[in-house]
Structure 1
Amino acid sequence: MFSLSGKKALIVGIANSHSIAYGIAQALREQGAELAVTYLNEKARPFVEPLAQELEADIFAPLDVTDTAQIDTLFDQIEELWGRLDILIHAVAFCPMEDLHGRVTDCSRQGFRMAMDISVGSFLHLTREAEPLMADGGACMTISYFGAEKVVENYNVMGPVKAALESVTKYMAAELGPKGIRVNALSPGPLMTRAASGIAHFDQLLDMAAERAPTHQLATIADVGAYAAFLASDSAKNVTGGVHYIDGGYHIVG
């Protein structure tokens, strides 16, 4: 029903083959999109490079979202090679472990700033850089979680951080909508990703989510990818500012 043939997509956040960003990248590529894939640093490169090769990425570049120079270099590459950008996937989040495992009340100022900068501020920065390359419209997406809306045990300070991310999504959708740029957040249920493994008692969270969800199934990275591919397509050109749950209906259960 839709195709992404010829669309240019930047994928930020692949860490390994279990990453949500990788599931999205696979789905976009299957629908014909051309990809730019980033990796965090040289330590991460061996895990990401084979995936970028498999995806036939046109651009494979380092990107630490706290490094403005790297962001500038990446977008210069994109402009030089493609001249435009149609899709931005932001799947980056971080919080220092000592702050993630403690009470929200006890979160250090430095840890809170870091979590907000990497998890939220980087989406603002990347979208701002993408805007001039989306002269004909585009789709920007980020990854949230139900803990932004309700208190989820052990999710701790990432709850308020994701709440800020969802609010940023809505405000940018309102501001960029007149240019045909859609901004949406995807909210999968719990998935066993590298980032999620830092959450205390995460196995219990997975079991509880599967038990409580109406489908009794956890979402997969392929499920998230399929939804993202639709939102990236012209068929979703009038869908923006939403938080889209891909969680087997978990979020509707009281």
Structure 2
Amino acid sequence: MFDLTGQKALVIGVANDQSIAWGCAKALHRNGAEVAITYLNEKAEPHVRPLAEQIGAPIVMPLDVGSEDELDALFSEISRTWGRLDTVVHSIAYCPKEDLQGRVIDCSAKGFAIAMDISVHSFLRILKRAEPLMPHGGTCMTVSFHGAQKVVGNYNIMGPVKAALETATRYAAAELGPKMISVHALSPGPLKTRAASGIAEFDEMLNEAADRAPTHQLATIEEVGAFAAFLASPEAANVTGGIHYIDGGYSIVG
């Protein structure tokens, strides 16, 4: 599809074979990139390591983005093993369930801070560490959702959080553009992932999205991965700062 031969890519957020991050990792590998994979903790490792082995990942490490030590260890290993980095995919979000499933105005200060730190600021921390490993340019991606732009039932506090992520993406793209480092947000419609399972009445959201989208199709992780592979390719080197919808047109209706 796109020639990524020789590229070194880091994918953060693989939890299982239904993860958006896994769709991206597969596509990057299929098009020639070497891919480093992280897993959240020991509990997650048995679900992630076999996937990493499928694509021959040379780096498979634990990463809780709330830990500066784990971030430093990961990027030290990337620097030692590869000496550079071409592509980063950040596909993680978190909010405590009691805050996620309540009204926006009822969200606790602690819950809001956690959601912003894990879902937004972690992307900035990763960009800061990736920057010196991209002396000749590169591509960095995160994952958003249409609830950042419009009110989506039951998406609740993650709407404002994803809005912050999209704004951070634009500012980071402006700051890193002179170094030919592009920054993007991928915005699929609702997908049945582990991360989304905490949203109340999520099955209803999926059904509504399929009904509402012009194609009447939900996006797949493979389609998201294909778009990520394009953005990582030389053909997209002059594209940056965008919120890229991969949602069958879900975001254009109503």
Same fold (TM over 0.5): yes
**Aligned residue identity for 1:234:** P
Q: Measure, in 2, the Cα distance between the counterparts of 1:172 and 1:234.
A: 20
SS of match in other structure, 2:123: helix
SS of 2:183's equivalent?
Answer: strand
Deviation at 1:55, TM superposition (A): 1.1
Alignment of 1:1-254 (within 5 A): 2-254=2-254
Cα distance in 2 for partners of 1:236, 1:14 equals: 24
Structure 1 residue 2 displacement after superposition = 2.8
Q: Which runs of 4+ in 1 moved over 6 A?
A: none
What is the CA–CA distance in structure 1 between the aligned matches of 2:2 and 2:165, rounded to whole Å? Answer: 28
Displacement of 1:71 in angstroms is 0.4
The amino acid across from 2:252 in the alignment is: I
Letter in 2 for 1:56: G
* Matches of 2:160 and 2:154, distance apart in 1: 13
Deviations 1:143-198 (A, max 9, x none): 00000000000000000000000000000000000000000000000000001010
Instruction: Report the TM-score, using the length of structure 2 for normalisation.
Output: 0.99
C-alpha RMSD over aligned residues: 0.5
TM-score between the two structures when normalised by the length of structure 1: 0.99
Q: Counterpart of 2:211 in structure 1: which amino acid?
A: E
The alignment of Structure 1 onto Structure 2 pairs a total of residues equal to 254
Say if 2:2 and 2:229, in contact at 8 Å, map to a contact too: no
Gap runs ≥5 in structure 1: none
Q: Distance in 2 between matches of 1:208 and 1:101?
A: 19
- Identity in percent: 65
Give the whole-Å Cα distance in 2 for the aligned partners of 1:216 and 1:43.
36
